[in-house]
Chains A and B, each alone.
Chain A
Amino acid sequence: MYPEQYRYTKEHEWIDVQGETGTMGITHHAQNELGDIVYVDLPKIGAAIEQGKSLGSVESVKAVSDIYSPVTGEVVEINEALSTAPEKLNLDPHGEAWLVKVKLTKPEELSDLMSAADYQSYIGA
């Protein structure tokens, strides 16, 4: 369920780093808590984001949750498909429904994040 190579935050985001770039999203646990996701608000390409700060939000019918960035860096790509098909976040949060790709400026921050095993024990899975 929770890929080994990903790193996880306490706010239920994941990041998969390949070289200088990280792909990030929200976890299966997060989408399950939110219920049916109806809208995803993502930053613009080129936006500077900071570890622990909100970069956007996901909405269900009756709740809004901030998405907190796992790392500091610059947004290089966003998942446009989610604007017309937010339901993908409920179906494949760790894969097809990634949120943004970031160019990391402080790769050392990755050590602040949890491993898959730690995250699963954190959520009591």
Chain B
Amino acid sequence: MPGKTRDHISQNESLLFEMSSPGKKGYQLPDLDVPQVDAAEALGAANVRDEIEDFPEVSEVEVIRHFTRLSTWNYGIDLGLFPLGSCTMKYNPRVNEAVARTEGLLWAHPYQPAEVAQGAMEVMAHLEAALAEITGMDAVTLEPAAGAHGELTGVLLIRAALEARGYARKKIIIPDSAHGTNPATAAMVGYSVQNLRSNAQGMVDVAELAKLVDEDTAGLMVTNPNTIGVFEQDIVKITSLMHEKGALVYMDGANMNALVGLARPGDFGIDVMHLNLHKTFSTPHGGGGPGAGAVAVKAHLEPFLPAPRLKTVGGQWQWDYNRPQTIGKVRAFYGNFGVLVRALAYIMAHGGPGLRNATLDALLNANYIRKGLEPYFDLPYKSPSMHECVFSDDRQAKLGVKTMDMAKRLIDYGFHPYTVAFPLIVHGALMIEPTETESKPEMDAFIQAMIAIAKEVESDPQMVLKAPHHTRTSRVDEVGAARKPVLRWKPTTLASKAAD
């Protein structure tokens, strides 16, 4: 249909390649203030490429419209509640973005001399100290780039510490409720994975754990609160049990938003843990990253932390590379610095007492939603919820409607879906984490939407099964995408156009 529309829901948007036309430009560089060098002469003709075939040629105006239109097909925290369990989609304060663009910090080169990098180093030291206080641990490295990368660092630390004692051991025990990154990480460090079945309350079964732990056990990877949002009641017993057998305990800090200011992993026996700064400490998810996966350890693991470490000499910050027992580097340079700046800004905004208040509101919100939805959805584990609650689709599945279908219907009500089908210990899980940054009216609207869907499942299941109905894109064919993968755009040839 020719003509214009203001409604991008019904408007198609071409790919950049399809709006390209030879000679269109979106850039202008300053004129060269030095002689132009002949590329073939300087590099050798064989090293010089032809033009980049099919690369876009578009104008600045088209660029802004393209990306702005595409953005309207996305959903973000800025638009409303984002109840993804385990993902802690909280408000991303804008002052964080502003300070991350501070001129001197933004353009600081990782190899510039320490004497002209003192500010950046102090920001990192400041954050390390705050995170150590929050976790009750003794030392923190900010090098890992994300949660899974922090896990890798943490399990490498366990391995290095055990090796220093003489025997690295063979296996890591992981509860069946854990995130997939836990077993994937243990395997990357050369450990075999032993699965631990959860008990009837969805918690670690201490008796079962005691049977599994032996001289070959390097450690336990535990998430606390666990992935059903429940605090591991026996955590102190669990950590002592592991320590008695000479094994270490790793805590996946994905759910730390339930504990900040309330309880500290260092106080309940954890040896090493990671924090997802992009969850608990409000740095934006950005459609999948970047994150930062700070790792906090007890003193006995400090010698093994990735190099370099910050130290002060005569009141000046320096990088200390002389770390004979280090596991090495897990990435180049010092970490996702820009993300660290944002996390520190968040901690400063709340302050110590404020961080605790945020945690309390996170608990309040999760329990409010649990209470509101319990009459309509099956709650497989009745243990007290911390920052999230997990329902199952048991009642609705009997009518042929599964958790994914209801998640898609939730989109029609203007909310992002909850986490679908995780954790694996709950069949057909609906995992809901509101975070502390949701208002009561927003949560009431969410609860009403969920109740309405539960009623629709009974009155008109077909309508739910075909959802979403009010998005620009209807249900996407993921099966077709996987069977015949098309992973890049290619120009349509005249022959294939004729065939269409």
Point out the residues of chain A lying under 8 angstroms from B478, CB to CB.
61
Q: B residues 276-323 with Cβ under 8 Å of A?
A: none
Residues of B with C-beta under 8 A to A38: 479, 482-483
B483 contacts which chain A residues (CB < 8 A)?
Answer: 38-39, 86-87
How many chain B residues touch A (CB < 8 A): the figure is 5
A34 CB to nearest chain B CB (Å): 11
Interface string of B415-426 (1 = CB under 8 A from A): 000000100000
Give the chain A neighbours of B479 by CB distance below 8 A: 36, 38, 61
Q: How far is the CB of B315 from chain A (nearest CB, A)?
A: 55
Q: Complex formed: what's the CA distance from A87 to B477 in Å?
A: 14
B residues 397-421 touching A (CB-CB < 8 Å):
421
A residues 30-77 in Cβ contact with B at 8 Å: 36, 38-39, 59, 61-62
Which residues of B are found within 8 Å of A61, using beta-carbon distances?
478-479, 482
Contact count band on A: under 10
B274 smallest CB distance to A (angstroms): 26
Q: State how many angstroms separate the Cβ of A73 from the closest Cβ of chain B.
A: 28
Closest B residue, CB atoms, query A39 = B482
Contacts of B421 in A (CB 8 A): 62
Smallest beta-carbon distance A37→chain B, Å: 9
Q: Inside 8 A of A86's CB, which chain B residues have their CB?
A: 483
Rounded to whole angstroms, the CA-CA distance of A86 and B482 in the bound complex is 10
Cα-based distance from A39 to B483 in the complex (angstroms): 7
Q: Give the Cβ gap from B52 to chain A, nearest Cβ, in Å.
A: 31
Report which residue of A39, A59, A61 has the largest number of chain B beta carbons within 10 angstroms of its beta carbon. A61
Chain B proximity mask over A14-44: 1 for CB below 8 Å, otherwise 0: 0000000000000000000000101100000
Question: Which residues of chain B come closer than 8 Å to A62, judged between CB atoms?
Answer: 421
Cα separation A61 to B479 with both chains bound (whole Å) = 6
- In whole angstroms, how far apart are the Cα atoms of A38 and B479 in the complex? 6
Chain B, residue nearest A35 (CB) = B479
B294 to chain A, nearest CB (A): 31
- Chain B, residues 367-386, CB within 8 Å of chain A (1/0): the string is 00000000000000000000
Interface residues of B in 461-489 (CB under 8 A from A): 478-479, 482-483
Q: Which residues of B contact A36 (CB under 8 A)?
A: 479
A59 to B479, CA, bound (A): 11
How far, in whole Å, are A105 and B421 apart by their CA atoms in the complex?
Answer: 42
- What CA separation (Å) do A36 and B421 show in the bound complex? 17
- Complex CA–CA separation, A83 to B483 (angstroms): 9
A59 cross-chain contacts in B, Cβ below 8 A: 482
Find residues 160-218 in chain B having any chain A CB closer than 8 Å to their own CB.
Answer: none
Alpha-carbon gap, A59 to B421, bound state (A): 17
Q: How far is the CA of A19 from the CA of B478 in the complex (A)?
A: 42
CA distance A61 to B478 in the complex (A): 7
Q: Complex: how many Å from CA A87 to CA B480?
A: 10
Q: How far is the CB of B193 from the nearest CB of chain A, in Å?
A: 16
What is the CA–CA distance of A59 and B483 in the complex, to the nearest angstrom?
10
Smallest Cβ distance from A79 to chain B, in angstroms?
16
What is the chain B residue whose CB lies nearest that of A90?
A: B479
How near does chain B come to A32, taking the closest CB pair, in angstroms?
15
**Those of B45-94 within 8 Å (CB) of chain A:** none
What is the bound-complex CA distance between A36 and B481, given in angstroms?
12
A125 to chain B, nearest CB (A): 20
Give the complex CA separation of A84 and B322 in angstroms.
55
A122 to B25, CA, bound (A): 67
Closest to B421 in A: A62
A36, B478: Cα distance in complex, Å: 10
- For A85, give the chain B residue with the smallest CB separation: B483
Taking CB atoms, residues of chain A closer than 8 Å to B482 are 38-39, 59, 61
Quick one: closest A residue to B482, CB to CB? A38
Q: Give the shortest distance, in Å, between A59 (CB) and chain B (any CB).
A: 8
CA distance A97 to B421 in the complex (A): 30
What's the nearest-Cβ distance from chain B to residue A40, in Å? 11
| Most chain A beta-carbon contacts within 10 A, residue among B421, B478, B483 | B483
Bound Cα distance from A39 to B478, whole angstroms: 13
A64 to B478, CA, bound (A): 15
C-alpha gap A62/B482 in the complex (Å): 10
A86 to B480, CA, bound (A): 11
Chain A: minimal CB distance from B407 (Å):
13
Minimal beta-carbon separation of B184 from chain A (angstroms):
13
CB distance from A51 to the nearest CB of B (A): 23
Which partner residue on chain B sits nearest A87 by CB separation? B483
Give Cα distance in the complex from A105 to B374, angstroms: 58
Q: Bound complex: CA of A61 vs CA of B476, how far in Å?
A: 12
Q: What would 12 A/B residue contacts be, using CB atoms closer than 8 Å?
A: A36-B479, A38-B479, A38-B482, A38-B483, A39-B482, A39-B483, A59-B482, A61-B479, A61-B482, A62-B421, A86-B483, A87-B483
Given contacts A38-B483, A61-B478, A87-B483, could you give 10 more A-B pairs where the C-beta distance is less than 8 Å? A36-B479, A38-B479, A38-B482, A39-B482, A39-B483, A59-B482, A61-B479, A61-B482, A62-B421, A86-B483
Identify the B interface with A (CB < 8 A). Answer: 421, 478-479, 482-483
The 9 closest A-B pairs by CB, nearest first: A38-B482, A36-B479, A38-B483, A61-B478, A61-B482, A61-B479, A38-B479, A86-B483, A87-B483
